[in-house]
Structure 1
Amino acid sequence: MSSAEHFLELIQRSKRGKFKIYIGMSAGVGKTYRMLQEAHSLLKHDVDIKIGYIEPHLRAETIALVEGIPAIPRKSIFYKGKYLEEMDLQAIINDHPDIVIVDELAHTNVEGSANKKRWQDVLQILEAGINVISAVNIQHIESLNESVKNIIGIEVTERVPDKILALADEVVNIDLTGDELIARLKEGKIYPADKIEISLQNFFKSDHILQLRELALKEVATHVEKKVETEVTKPLNVRPEKFLACISSNEKTAKSVIRKTARLASYYNSRWTVLYVQIPKENPDKIALDKQRFLINNLNFAQEMGAKVVQKKGHNIAETISEYVQENQITTVCIGKPQLNFIQELFRLSWFHNFVNKMMSKKVDIIILS
């Protein structure tokens, strides 16, 4: 990056609104409630704060707190035979309050909205110079998707890229013990009476809550560590971490490598790249259409997660990766565990051994992600 580009980035960053995220282990911990409490406190100090979107979930305590806070009217979108209400992005930008509250950060907007996801709306609001207070549950963080699925047994479909959390100026964890959360559920403070028992048998199991709580606490701790690191001057002789995720056209392996590398890069507050080496048999006119579609989706997914995406052509994947590593001063290469049978392993063991030796000679770490 040139000095002019760096200066421009500093200017743009100073114009961007500040971003605060309340995070919690699950629904019902009090994220929305806390945002509204903060809004009332700011109103007492004559701050121009408005509600852009709040989802009270029919909770009496939350609904009561909405009273007295100015709100920007939602817009109605006609979809599949009925009108649905969505946050009015343009109205917020036109109104331009000092601070806007935007709940449900992971929400998927109705078809016909300006953006597909609400977090994309938030980015536009921030770029307009408006400060945002928002909220999200830990299970909606993209790089934690597989961990959450292993805990609760289902895949969460509405997700927020890690880069959105990285953009936040402040991340606050709303923490409750498992017993406190379950007590709130049983008292009807989270879901209606007819949903309490089924919730206790599924998502709100004690072991689920304990593990999700741990994830939330770790996430906020990591954010604080990164904030400290960025604000403390590092010694000049420290080599910055640069991660390289090497993917193939294999859909599931590639997506897993992208997610896990994103997590590592996020932890180390580092830049990362996703590299796909196109070998001759995967030229556009030869690759199977389904593989091509999966590949395009994964490359788009990587960009959404905050990676720099690079595609290179080469006859030898290992050589092409090695060249890229050397040219771009990569410190860590992340690859998926090869899905090979015994015979394939015998044939490929030699090139992999050579590749590892080459990386070691360059003092580059290799992480094999399963």
Structure 2
Amino acid sequence: MHLNAPMRAALAAASEDRIVFDLGGIEAQYDSLLAELPDISVRFAMKACPVDEVLACLAQRGSGFDAASPNEIAQALRTGVPVSRIHYGNTIKSDRNIVDAYRLGVRDFATDSTQDVAAIAAHAAGSRVFCRLATSGDGALWGLSRKFGCSAADAVLVMEAAHSAGLTPSGLSVHVGSQQMTSDAWQDAFERLADVLTSLNARGIFPDHINLGGGLPALGYLDNRGRPLDPPVDKIFAVIREGMQQLRAVSESPLAFIMEPGRHLIADHGAIRAHVSRLSSREQIDGEREHWLYLSCGKFNGLYEMDQLQYRLVFPSHAGGEHVPAVVAGPTCDSDDGYAHEHNRVSVPASAASGDPVWILSCGAYAIGYMTQGFNGFNPLPYTWIRGE
């Protein structure tokens, strides 16, 4: 994440802990994505950042929304976006969820089972459905390989069931896993899509769109050893463009393409102003002495994904001086509230003292949505926003 002058000023001016979103940076990232994939319609994955101001700026840019519940649908509608640009992207939904979404005007539903298709037909008659194919999740920090999606054979059955039930079998979808670090995963997804599309066309079913889901990576994270993650974004975009051409060549009807980016658009354009709770040194039972840096926020109030990655830390009141390797952890009485990997040691100022400010970068994704209502009595972070350079 690049700390531009307005973001740096906003973090420096904050006297209390908070997360700051750079709306200008988010808009620029959206424009950059469309420059790489001009044939894509964006449906922002709301779960990544359910902040009204962020959603509004994306809606004004032309984005639609991938919603996973009636509450998210209602929030999306408050941006003023046409309901035709909102789809119910969660394959898991109750009858009541379907009824409420249909009442709000949604007519596009994700599915991955014949049971769900039957429920949609009963409670959202005439709607369009897109079937989610399972992927391995290999290469992603968070693979999504079992809870969602079905096999190619099941996908054909699901789409045939939708057609028979009076629904429109409108599309296929995939998700290659969150923070996908390889282009191979995308190549595999396109091959799966091509096979199912060919099978459906042979059965007289002609989907009109392909939803490529989420998975596009953010660039500002560190791995569990503190090294910069380096996703091959140029190669990923090239594979996606080639895959879209491949599917258009296979399909017997015109295809439109949708994506559901979340963290790729907002992760690197949010930062937390936190503070040091304590830098301490303790001998462990194996005789090793460790430094621990306890922050005012952690896994349960802003840094939920710290079990899989590290965030870049900036200590604005400490320029130079001696540093020590420390384990970074949050303030709660929970052993999961810290970096999990045995090699997780972060170089921190040896003079860091309680109350010193710490800026935590690339926190725009999932920081708000995953926060508890005050686990252990530590408050969720408030947020603010700027419109940077």
Same fold (TM over 0.5): no
Higher percent of residues as strand? 2
User: Which TM-score applies when normalising by structure 1?
Assistant: 0.27
Q: Which has the higher contact order (CA 8 A, sep 6+)?
A: 2
Higher percent of residues as helix? 1
